[in-house]
Amino acid sequence: MTTIDLRSEDPTEVIDVPRVLADRGWVPSARGWLARFAVVFAVVFVVLGAPFYLHTRQVDLAAAPIYAIIALSLNVLIGYTGTISLGHQAFVGIGAFTTAYVVGQHHQPFLLGIVIAAALGGFQALILGGLALRISGLYFALITLSYGVLAQESLFNIKSLTGGGAGATAPMPTPIRTYYFICLGFLALVLYADWRLMRSKGGRALLALRENPRVAATFGINVKLYTLVGFMVSGVFAGIGGALLAHRDEVVNSVGFDFQLALLFVLMTVVGGLRNRTGIVISASLFALLKMLVQEVPGFQRTLARWDLTLPVLFLLGGIAAVAYGVHKRNRIVLAVGALAGLLAVLVLSPVRVPYLEDRLAEIPVLTPERASGVVGPVLLLVVLTRLPGGIGQLVKPIQLWVSGRRFDWAAGRVKEVVITDVRA
């Protein structure tokens, strides 16, 4: 007897019930299993083998699991408890500075530093959670924002604890390759803890809470307790991430923990797809490795540098797409704009010299990898919010389900909208 599992942690996910029912009992063939195993093996090979292949980039690689841990911690807040945190850099920073203090200043063992960092992270998250009990939704977002600024300007600048402007040191405990695997190990730990939490009664309570606290209360769920639990878990994970980050950078300074970092974390989590662990891990890794990827992928840097070629090509493609859309939807404005853009692009690309435009194009600065992430990231965020609510998780879900033994289905994992909390305050 096969049980049909229609549960999904994400209630906004669209489940094609007839399809699921029709596929019940379907088992992949031997070849199918082989294919699935090959894909899993390839992924594991890449993850475990990267530091050997990219041996000059190991420090950059170690950032991927660390950012994944941080994004997962933010997912607990945003995805599970439904609280938006715009000051998450404070949670992470507390972990970082704690371990720098414990290991760097007082020469305690590395693991002790991580443990204390996690504990402190959980503790300060608990305090903030206490505040969250009294203040709702949007306003709490502002509190987290203000708390983040407080952390950066005040807490992280207390000279005796953090070294002030010069920063604190947190030496890497092992050579970098081992450290990469240590970070992977911690990521596995966090993923496991997250998975167990969500499978437990507490996790289900959290999700119910997120959907509607008042209804949850009528079911006997202790709203206060579970909100605090959610905050604490998030703080512990963030503390671990921060501590690992500190040891990777080896120098920790308040300048790095600014508001933009908090927004980057939110970006990573939302683009990954709320409540979707795989998507979040992938998204965080991408953002962490963006600069490295741009530098390693051949030809990419040249594309970002030659705007006098790239931009007209983009305009041409965009123009063609706009014309097609305008014809399809009978929208004259879009059609006109598209035609104009396309025509201009053709003119610029042709040997005919367009005086003003070509000079302006030549003046556009090179899009260096640092600047690229500042532009690509927010664009992805806006695209996800308006067009692809499930984020990367939504894109990856079909593959995930296929690997777990179901028939491959393009439409699986579709998410209706980005819902952080259903309470429409």
Partner 1 sequence: MRRPRVLVTLLVLMMIAAACGQKAGVGGATSNDAFGAGGASNVQAGGAANGDTGGTGATGVADTATTAPGATGATGTGAAGSATSAGTSHAATATPAGDRTGITDTTITIGVHAPISGAAPFPQSSFQKGSPVYWDFLQTKGGVFGRMVKVIIMDDEYNPASAKRVCQQMVEQNHVFLLIGGGGADQITACAQYANSVGVPYLSAGVNENGLRNLRGYFAFSMSYPAQSPLLVQWATKKLGGGKFAIAVEDTPSFADAHASIVSAAKAGGLQIVYDKSIPKTVQQTDALSIANGLRASGAQIVYILASPQSFVNIAAAAAGQAYNPHWIGPGITSGLNLVAQVGCPAIGAANFLSPFPELDVIDKLDPDFVPAYQKYAGGTPDDISLALWGLNKGLAQVFLAAGKDMTRQSFVQTLESGKRFTTNVYPAGQFSPTNHFGSTQAHMLQADCSSRTYKTVAQFASGF
Partner 2 sequence: MLERLGVSHLTGTAIGAAVVLFLFATGHKEDLVIGVITGLAYSLIALGLVLIYKSSGIFNFAQAEFGSVAVFVLYLLRQNDMPYVPAALLALIAAVVLGLVVERAVVRPLFDAPRVTLLVATAGVALLSIGVTFWLNDAQGRTVDPAIHGNQALRLFDIIISWQRVLIVVVVLVIGATLALFFRRTTLGLAVLASSQEPTATELVGISVKRLSTLVWGLAALLGGLAGVLVGPFEPFGPGGMTLKLLIPGFTAAVIGGMGSLQGAVLGGMIVGVGQSLGASGGLLPESVPGGGAVITFVLLAAILAIRPQGLLGRTT
Q: Is 422 in the site for partner 2 (CB under 8 A)?
A: yes
Q: Is 131 in the site for partner 2 (CB under 8 A)?
A: yes
59 binds, among partner 1, partner 2, none (CB under 5 to 8 A by kind): partner 1
> Restricting to residues 206-265, which ones interact with partner 1 according to CB under 8 A?
249-256
Q: Is 180 in the site for partner 1 (CB under 8 A)?
A: yes
Query: Minimum distance from CB of 222 to partner 1 (Å)?
Result: 28
Considering only CA atoms, which of 109, 114, 138, 2 is closest in space to residue 66? 114
Based on the number of CB atoms within 10 Å of its own CB, is 62 exposed (0-12), middle (13-18) or buried (19 or more)? buried
> Restricting to residues 58-87, which ones interact with partner 2 according to CB under 8 A?
84, 86
Strand, helix or coil at 6? coil
Three-state SS across 183-208? HHHHHHHHHHHHHHHHHCHHHHHHHH
Residues comprising the chain, all counted: 425
1 binds, among partner 2, partner 1, none (CB under 5 to 8 A by kind): none
Compose the 167-206 pattern: x for residues touching partner 2 by CB under 8 A, - for all others.
Answer: ----------------------------------------
Give the residue, chosen from 75, 89, 99, 421, that forms a contact with partner 2 under the rule CB under 8 A: 421
Give the residue, chosen from 11, 136, 149, 181, that forms a contact with partner 1 under the rule CB under 8 A: 181
Compose the 107-126 pattern: x for residues touching partner 1 by CB under 8 A, - for all others.
Answer: xxxxxx--------------
> Restricting to residues 364-393, which ones interact with partner 2 according to CB under 8 A?
364-365, 367, 371, 374-375, 377-379, 381-382, 385-387
Strand-pairing partners, residue 156, are none
Number of residues that bind partner 2 (CB under 8 A): 55
Specify the stretch interacting with partner 1 by CB under 8 A; choose among 136-144, 163-171, 338-346, 356-364.
163-171
Query: How many whole angstroms separate alpha carbon 85 and alpha carbon 151?
Result: 14
167 binds, among partner 2, partner 1, none (CB under 5 to 8 A by kind): partner 1
Q: Is 98 in the site for partner 1 (CB under 8 A)?
A: no
**Rounded alpha-carbon distances, angstroms, from residue 387 to 50, 315, 381:** 33, 21, 10
Angle between helices 58-75 and 259-272 (to 10 degrees): 80
Q: Which residues contact 260 (CB under 8 A, 6 or more apart)?
A: none
174 binds, among partner 2, partner 1, none (CB under 5 to 8 A by kind): partner 1
Considering only CA atoms, which of 64, 132, 70 is closest in space to residue 264? 70
Give the residue, chosen from 100, 266, 392, 396, that forms a contact with partner 2 under the rule CB under 8 A: 266
Based on the number of CB atoms within 10 Å of its own CB, is 147 exposed (0-12), middle (13-18) or buried (19 or more)? buried
Q: Is 418 in the site for partner 2 (CB under 8 A)?
A: yes
Which backbone phi and psi does 369 adopt, to 5 degrees? -55, -35
Query: Minimum distance from CB of 424 to partner 2 (Å)?
Result: 6
Query: How many whole angstroms separate alpha carbon 19 and alpha carbon 8?
Result: 16
Q: Is 344 in the site for partner 2 (CB under 8 A)?
A: no
Based on the number of CB atoms within 10 Å of its own CB, is 203 exposed (0-12), middle (13-18) or buried (19 or more)? buried
Query: How many whole angstroms separate alpha carbon 339 and alpha carbon 333?
Result: 10
Query: How many whole angstroms separate alpha carbon 236 and alpha carbon 233?
Result: 5
Contact footprint for partner 1 (CB under 8 A): 48, 51-52, 56-57, 59, 103-105, 107-112, 153, 157, 159, 163-167, 169-182, 184-186, 188-189, 191-192, 195, 249-256, 370, 404
Contact footprint for partner 2 (CB under 8 A): 84, 86, 131, 134-135, 137-139, 141-143, 145-147, 149-150, 152-155, 157-160, 164, 258-260, 263, 266-267, 270, 364-365, 367, 371, 374-375, 377-379, 381-382, 385-387, 417-425
